[in-house]
Structure 1
Amino acid sequence: MKQSPPTPLPPPDERRRLREAQSLTQAQVAARMGVARETVRSWETGRTTPRGRKREAYAKLLAEHATEKNGENRENGENGGKVTAGQDPAPVATDMADMTDLRSDALTPAQAFDALYAFCAPALVRQTYLLTGRRELARESVERAFQLAWQSWPEVALDRDPAGWVRATAYECALSPWHRLRPRYRHPEPPPADATDRALMDVLLKLPPPHRRTLLLYDGVGLDLPETAAETEASTPATANRLLHARAAIAERLPELSDPAELHRRLATLASTERLRAAKPPTVRHGSERRARFWTRAAIAFTVALIGTTALTLRSAPTQYEPPVAPGSDVRGVPKRVAPGPLSEAEWELREKLRKETAKGPERLQPTLP
């Protein structure tokens, strides 16, 4: 069976021009495509390319303006009107995020960080809540991810997808197994008030963490399969298998969510019903700086203590090696030494007789002749 060739798409620069010619923002295109705004931005920059049904829908959306433009050009030609080549009859609309990119050179690092935090943090807290089912852990993980981003801000600022960098870090913090040892996270939090939301959250939390993360990125955030595989550090076939198993598990418990579009809508509804607030950007920046100062001082104190211990050891250590004396041990097999006891009467008589004898010994008997 031959596969049909993929739907042709214009170059990345042309995609953005066609969108702006229709007076559409990236957020509006993302809503029509059912994906996140970051995904549309990556399509227009050429970092990723849509596939499957999303590719066809995206190509159709861009082709609408081309068809309208050709028709207007023919009409203008018939009426004697003149249209300059490359001139768009529709006004150009640029969203605030694009204006921020154009003025990025004029922003200070703190202002750029605050803009990224204000744009990503609220949605990222809701996503992390779907990933863990814990409200406080979701806020803590997102704040920790942005603290790490502020500590490595030059690297994050130059990244092609800063929002993806922070999202991956927040997911890693939220799924850390060390949270099980913390007393505040040993017991589950109260479930959502709505019965349908409770059922969906219960199914999500029973999925393995890799499957849950893959489902959230693909059906919740709206990333493509290669982007989801790259963010989860897995191969594309393995990511596809995780996604299929996760969808099958949800469809088995909740048959009405077998449609991916309905599942995406329900995930968005479940995340939006919870009142999850993120801290202010200056609070996160100051917390990151306090944490960095604390660990820097702790490292300096440990280094000073190590140097002092080493110096004391060198000062008090002997100049030459003296082998230690081995401890004594019992030697077996040798009879004990017997001390002399009291003399008997016979021994006393013999002793006295020997003392009375002369030093030269007894007299010798000489034989006589008969």
Structure 2
Amino acid sequence: MTRSTTDEPAAHPLPSPKERRRLREAKSLTEQQVAEAVGVTRATVRSWETGRTSPRGRKRALYAKLIAPDPKPRPKRKPKSPPAPLPVRGPEPASVIAAEHASVSTPGPASVSTDGPASVLTDGPVSVSAPGPTSVNAPGPTPPSTPGPTSASTAPDASSPPVPATPPPPPEPPPATPRLSPDEAFDALYAHAAPGLVRQTYLLTGRRSLARESVERAFQLAWHRWPEVAVDRDPVGWVRAAAYEYAMSPWHRLRRVHRHPDEPPTEPARRALFEALLDLPPAYRRTLLLYDGVGLDLPETAAETEASTPAAAGRLEVARAAVAERLPELAAAASPAEQSELLHDRLGGLARAEHVPTPSPARAVRTGGENKARLWTRAAIAFAALLIGATALTLHTAPTHYEQPIAPPERVGGVPPRGGPQKLTPQDLKLQKSLKEELAHGPERLVPRIP
């Protein structure tokens, strides 16, 4: 019986890529140490921590065991004491029973709170609080009243069994939150994150059209992999990484429309910041934008840029020093925290001041990605069919045996050249045919003799 490969993730579950990196650093393990322990290269471990690939089989089990958090000691259980006997409740007045039913929990309306973006570069999350119960004092159903002790003559007999109190009715469950369809969830994510990502990508590349194209291309890729993106802990970060990778591709230099950056801002301070950003190497520019512009912490920045945490810190310091040479106010900052806050404000102001193109509607991005995928699929099928047809035609028309070519004649010492067998005349062909047909009945000199 063979074991399916789909059972491996269930047997050895792994945390999210960012959590894998955090657990490794919490155990003070380097990428090289993990790679040597699992038996892979350092680049493979980095790919696992960025979410591009996932380990399988025995390597998955070793990796999960290596980064697994240390189990916490379980507290000792106290010996259970014998349960106390339940008190027997006697008859109560009708007023007391009615008071117990006076407080009824009824479901209240759902509240939706939308947190606005912290800045122009980061979009805040949209939180929807589930409807909870609201306490309302309303008279409940009155149970049948029982006569209370009014006098000695009406007192209940001690030998009569006690009358239990009627329990209050259970509260009604809150209404279930309606689940969004994949199209609606994608449209909500696109409307929430696309404008900010276009501004971020513009600061990364300095090209408005390339920024819009990169974000739309990243969302098309997210729609193709929506089952993976929908369960990701940070879907905006997934799309942002894809948009940055596409925008920073060196192949865009070969395209005439993206060969040169757009015109810089006219204001001197913003123009200096814009030129300082574009003069930085792409990796340093991306690190500065993620840490000081978007507001990620250093481990998250290192994970998204596929670098170690010390390398990301070094890139950040070099990038800040290069930008500080163009901005005197940044060089006059008293602390790195003040520099980070100042850069955050300046980057947000630069992105807000520029006229960044508005991204296309979400429906157009979805249908465009589907049409492009359908076109590439049909092209691949047509190419495969053409290749199969050409192979079949070649097999049908190719010769089945080898025919040795006749060597060209040469003239030697005035002797006429003879280049092998000459072309037979019709009489020769007729004679050859008759000889082949009457080989056994011809003259004796033509019949082979077997000793």
TM-score of the superposition, structure 1-length normalised? 0.62
Deviation readout 1:179-238 (Å, 9 max, x if unpaired) = 111111223311113221111000000000000000000000000110001101111111
Q: Deviations over 1:128-164 (max 9, x none)?
A: 0000001111001000000111111111111121111
Counterpart code for 1:215: L
Is 2:287–2:301's contact at 8 Å kept on the other side of the alignment?
Answer: yes
Specify which of 297, 302, 323 is matched with residue 383 of structure 2.
302
Matches within 5 A, 1:119-134: 119-134=192-207
The runs of 5 or more residues in structure 2 that have no matched partner are 1-17, 24-109, 115-125, 132-175, 332-338, 416-451
Q: Deviations over 1:14-58 (max 9, x none)?
A: xxxxxxxxxxxxxxxxxxxxxxxxxxxxx9x99979xxxxxxxxx
Q: Which region of structure 1 is more displaced relative to structure 2, 278-287 or 214-223?
A: 278-287
In structure 1, what is the equivalent of residue 61 of structure 2? none
Q: Which residue of 2 aligns with 1:53?
A: none
Aligned to 1:74: none
One-letter code of the match for 1:251? A
Q: In the superposition, relative to structure 1, how do residues 326 and 166 fare at CA in structure 2: closer, same or farther (>3 Å)?
A: farther
Partner of 2:367: 286
Q: Give, in whole Å, the separation in 2 of the partners of 1:137 and 1:275.
A: 14
Flag the structure with higher helix content. Answer: 1
8 Å Cα contact 1:104/1:112 also seen in 2: no
Q: 1:104 to 1:318 in 2, by over 3 A?
A: farther
Q: CA deviation at 1:325?
A: 3.0
Q: Which has the higher contact order (CA 8 A, sep 6+)?
A: 1
What secondary structure is seen at the aligned counterpart in 2 of 1:196? Answer: helix
Secondary structure of the 1:95 match is: strand
| Percent of residue pairs identical | 61
1:148-227 → structure 2 map (5 Å cutoff): 148-227=221-300
Sort the Cα spacing of 1:176 and 1:304 in 2 relative to 1 into closer, same or farther, 3 A.
same
Q: Which residue of 1 aligns with 2:304?
A: 231
Structure 2 distance, partners of 1:321, 1:338, is 34
Larger radius of gyration: 1
In structure 2, relative to structure 1, the CA distance for the partners of 1:202 and 1:119 (3 Å cut) is same
Cα-Cα RMSD: 3.0
Q: For the structure 1 residues 181 and 47, does the alpha-carbon distance in structure 2 shift closer, same or farther, using more than 3 Å as the test?
A: closer
Q: Number of paired residues?
A: 249
Matched residue SS, 1:318: coil
Q: Which runs of 5+ in 1 are unaligned?
A: 1-42, 50-91, 340-370
**C-alpha separation between the residues in 2 aligned to 1:338 and 1:139?**
83
Contact 2:194 2:359 survives alignment (8 Å): yes
CA distance 1:214–1:316, shift in 2 (3 Å): same
Query: 2:275 is aligned with what amino acid?
Result: D
The equivalent residue for 1:255 is: 328
